Amino acid sequence: MAISVTILGNASAKPTTTAHPSAQVVNINEQLFLMDAGEGVQRQMARCGISPLKLRAVFLSHLHGDHLYGLFPLLSTLGLYGRRTTLRIYAPRPFGAMLEGFLSLFERDLPYTPEWVEVDTTKHQIIFENDTTEIWSLPLRHRVPTTGYLFRQKEPPLNVSKYSIERYKLSVSQIVAAKRGEDIALNSGEILPNSLLTYRPYEALSYAYCSDTNYSARLAKMVEGVDLLYHETTYAAAEKKLAKERGHSSTVDAAKVAKMANAERLLIGHFSSRYKDLEALCEECREIFPLTEIARERETYCVEPKRQRL
């Protein structure tokens, strides 16, 4: 039950010939979620072999154009492709007015409903949940109301090992009890601790998407122990002051959050167009947080189990 993240755009607002504005697809338990939707997102999806019809929902961090302008053409194309099921779009206020304006002026006859779900950017809470996954909002500190998103796989149910069943000749009712997490009393009076009998079929993993934001110690607490942290690094360490003024982070800010959160790995993106050498930005992070990678467009990053658990 993997989580993977495919980067569609790693640039900040000013367009460049080589990079696209923010967008990525998170695949969690084979359900696809689009995180932000900068211009060109649908073409980038096509180039990555991701069908837009497979999108389960869309999550917008905030309502700046470089995170948003690719959404409306994508919504149109989903109509052309004949989508029928409602598409939920999680976004801060006033996205509803934008969506209404778009639908009334540009797309009156879509064969499906794009539905806005308001995200309160001041709260850290579960905004989406199904059998296997929770998605949490992460209040961020940008120039406008902004939220990150934290994907958490739920602990899968306990399995009882075949070995234990045969070794201890467990009855059906004992197996069911063990799956509930109970210790099992044998006829001999021996008590088998649950941990001896059961295992988790996979490890619950987590991924956090944090763009755009100033340095935030509160954020580090909210993503404590995350397996993969995507954190914006619009600016190099030398532009720390500019980063602060513009509601963005420097490399040092991102690495400090990753370190404080005890994250497993850090993925950096949302690069200002002024930087041609992204490796230099990455090196600045690695001095503080060694397991840092550059979010490269059209690359997929798998969320790996924590090393210490292996």
Residues of this chain that bind a second copy (CB under 8 A):
13-17, 20, 39-40, 42-43, 46-47, 63, 65-66, 68-70, 72-73, 76-77, 80, 94, 97-98, 101, 105-107
What is each CA distance from 143 to 121, 209, 285, in whole angstroms? 12, 18, 24
What is the Cα–Cα distance from 125 to 166, expressed in whole angstroms? 43
User: 94 or 181: whose CB is closer to a second copy?
Assistant: 94
User: 259 or 296: whose CB is closer to a second copy?
Assistant: 296
Contact indicator for 53, 85 with CB cutoff of 8 Å: no
User: 9 or 128: whose CB is closer to a second copy?
Assistant: 9
CB of 110 to a second copy, least distance (A): 11
CB of 22 to a second copy, least distance (A): 13
CB of 68 to a second copy, least distance (A): 8
User: 107 or 182: whose CB is closer to a second copy?
Assistant: 107
CB of 24 to a second copy, least distance (A): 18
To the query of whether residue 66 is one of the catalytic residues in this protein, the response is yes
Candidate list 66, 212, 227, 253, residue with the active-site label:
66
Residues with catalytic roles = 66
